[in-house]
Amino acid sequence: MILPMIKYAFLVYHREYLDFLKGLQELAVLHVIEKQSGEIEDETIQGQYRQLQHINQAIKFLEKRTQETLSETLVQPVEPLLEQLRQLQSKVEGYQQELAHLEKEISILQPWGNFNWDTIHRIKGSGYDVHFYLCPSRSIAPQWREQYTLEVIHEQAGMSYFVVISKMNEPVELNAEVCRLPQISLSQLEKQLEEVTAGLRSLENEMDTFAGEYLNSLYAAREEVTVSLDFSKVVWNTHKTAEDKLMLLEGWVPEEKEDQVVHYLNDAGVFYESAKPGEDDLPPIQLKNNTFARLYEAIGELYTFPNYRELDLTPFFAPFYMLFFGFCLGDAGYGVLIVLATLIGMAKAKPSLKPLFKLGFYLGLSTILMGIIGGTYFGYMLHPENFKDGQTFAPWITTYQKYILSSDNLMVVALGIGYFQVLFGMFLNAANRIKMQGFRYALAQLGWNLIVLVTIPAIGLYKSGAMAAPWMRTVIIVSGVLGGLPAFFYNTPGKNPLLNFGAGLWNAYGVASGLLGDVLSYIRLFALGLSSAILGNVFNQLALQSSQGLGGGIAGIAVMILILAFGHSLNFFMAALGSFVHPLRLTFVEFYKNAGFMGGGKKYEPFKK
């Protein structure tokens, strides 16, 4: 449900304005109406944005560090801390660059071994030159050894590293790559690498200590700057009148909190006006739902907030989303894992995270339910069609197998659920039109709803033999007439009947083609559930066969456990990801479209500390 909003306008004398804003900030109920156009050019606000950005970057960096404990002592101001952190980061970058350079030079020298360059210089002082070459081993021609003093130093991956000693200034012509080596020994490079690595490790420890000592200070500074920034933005959104003597501020307050505002304004002696939203107003959106539906508000926010004047669809899609997730995952064993993990999370997590774990708990329950209905447990499918004739089980399992739905039945159930949700969305569309425009604007939608509600079940009953053909035709004709009249001749109240009829024909094409495509989209529920079950079963068979191939025993059991752990972990991750994403798609595309969802609302964000 979308909470009603009241629009307020305050007129305050400029000398009393800051104290008035502080009182509003303490009250924490006013959503300030921002200026409609233009960027914020205030230098103070831009400076606060930059400071907040720097603090956020520092926090993001330090949160990745190892912190055993966080110091409760808060340090102010934080600018010296940020500068100290920048210096540490700069040193780390310098060490990392030096480390990369040394590793590169070591990789160049390693094939040549640890030789002393003084020896090379003495050879050159005797009138000889030393050349370093690299080429494929098969490319070294026998005449090279006859023509030059050549010695292969190292061979690796089909490549030969060799030296040629020639008289000074004597030309050496070989079809090989000349190697330019660093003028330092390998042992010296490795010693430098150890020193740089030790320095880098020391800096890393220093930054870990820095994170433990000052992370809480940065958290506090972020809160302080955020509050100050919010305050500055409210001041910037204030209109100055009467030669800057009077300050005009506008904002929205939830109707249920209006008494708090009125009480504060009367005590403060502030002049104000209040009114309900006009047609051109765009009030912010604050949702208020029951305990169950509230868990799914975060899912709806992934798309957008509803328009202020339409229905909040959260409580209507919440049960479907829960069911769809379980349908897509469809494994009772995986569902048990989700339930256990979320129960532990709810017991140990921070209060802010507990709603997410509670949502996961409900999704796990749905997965268990659909796994029981489909008869799948950790990839083991209990439906009789998956076993050879004559295979027997415990009596209770045999009895249970009679109630497990086959894959064909699950596909029919998925399509049936799709038809029901699409039709449900169409009725919500009608309710939305009644709420926003009036009953007569919903008559055409109700006509289509009647046709879809009656026609498709009648055809289904006829195909199954539960309804005779004459009765089917009678039902379709009656529903077609009752629903078709408003659908074709009253879809745009007040317009020419011929225009209404033309619009009705176009709507008929849209309903017929869209309905078929929308309902068929729900077959993905069955397909995803079946694919995860099959993949889990494949890993089970692979683990069993591998164990048997090793003759059982400890080795066979170990291999079987590894395959099961890896396979089911991979399958669970992929299936859970699909079970989260595809119900989103069905909600935001098929359901929202048929429900006439407009969206575009802005979240209610009160001015507060």
Concatenated DSSP letters of 83-97: HHHHHHHHHHHHHHH
Report the half-sphere exposure of 7 (CA within 13 A, side-chain side): 12
Residues above pLDDT 90, as percent of the chain: 40
Angle between helices 332-348 and 354-374 in degrees, nearest 10: 160
For the chain, helix, strand, coil in percent to 5 are 65, 10, 25
Instruction: Work out the average pLDDT over 515-535.
Output: 90
Tell me the mean pLDDT in the region 476-484: 83
Gap between the Cα atoms of 374 and 534, Å rounded:
12
pLDDT of residue 395: 78
Separation between Cα atoms, residue 303 and residue 324, nearest integer Å? 18
User: At CA 309, angle to CA 519 and CA 3, rounded to 5?
Assistant: 105
What value does the mean pLDDT take over residues 472-487? Answer: 83
What pLDDT shows up at residue 555?
83
- Coil, helix or strand for 461? helix
What phi and psi, each to the nearest 5 degrees, are found at residue 269?
A: 70, 35
Average pLDDT of span 299-311: 91
- Residue 481 amino acid letter: V
pLDDT of 24 reads 86
Long-range contacts of 64-68 (CB under 8 A, 24+ apart): 65/207, 65/208, 65/210, 65/211, 66/208, 66/211, 67/208, 67/211, 67/212, 67/215, 68/212
Average confidence (pLDDT) over 484-504: 75
Q: Average pLDDT for residues 583-599, to the nearest whole number?
A: 92
DSSP β-bridge partners for residue 160: 135, 155
pLDDT-derived band of residue 404, with 50, 70 and 90 as boundaries? confident
The C-alpha angle 312, 318, 341, rounded to 5 degrees, equals: 140
- From residue 83, alpha-carbon distances to 50, 90, 568 in Å are 14, 10, 48
How many residues comprise the chain?
609
* Res 443: pLDDT: 85
Instruction: Give buried/exposed letters for 396-413 (b at 16+ CB in 10 A, else e).
Output: eeeeebeebeebeebbeb
The H or E element that residue 572 is part of is helix 553-585
Cβ neighbours for 139, distance < 8 A, ≥ 6 positions apart: 175, 176
CA–CA separation, 253 and 604 (whole Å): 9
Q: What is the per-residue pLDDT for 272?
A: 85
What is the per-residue pLDDT for 401?
A: 82
Helix (H, G, I), strand (E, B) or coil at 114: coil
317 has pLDDT over 60: yes
CA dihedral 253, 256, 261, 262 (to 10 degrees): 120
Question: How far is Cα 453 from Cα 449, in angstroms, rounded to an integer?
Answer: 6
> pTM for the full model?
0.75
- Between 65 and 565, the more confident residue is 565
Average pLDDT over residues 191-208: 91
Q: How far is 225 from 45, CA to CA, in rounded Å?
A: 10
pLDDT exceeds cutoff 60 at 38: no
Residue-level pLDDT at 423: 93
Task: Quote the CA–CA distance of 72 and 440 in Å, as a whole number.
Answer: 64
What are the residue ranges of helices labelled H in 69-153?
79-109, 117-125, 142-147
Q: What's the token pair of residue 4? A: 């009603």
Most confident of the following: 478-487, 511-520, 576-585 = 576-585
Phi first, then psi, for residue 178 (nearest 5°) are -80, 130
Task: End-to-end CA distance of the chain: give it in Å, rounded.
Answer: 26
Comparing 480 with 276, which gets the higher pLDDT? 276
pLDDT at 388 over 80: no
Query: Which of 172-181, 200-209, 227-236, 399-408 bottoms out in mean pLDDT, i.e. has the lowest?
Result: 227-236
Q: Which is more confident, 329 or 12?
A: 329
Q: What is the pLDDT of residue 98?
A: 94
Q: What is the mean pLDDT of residues 137-157?
A: 90
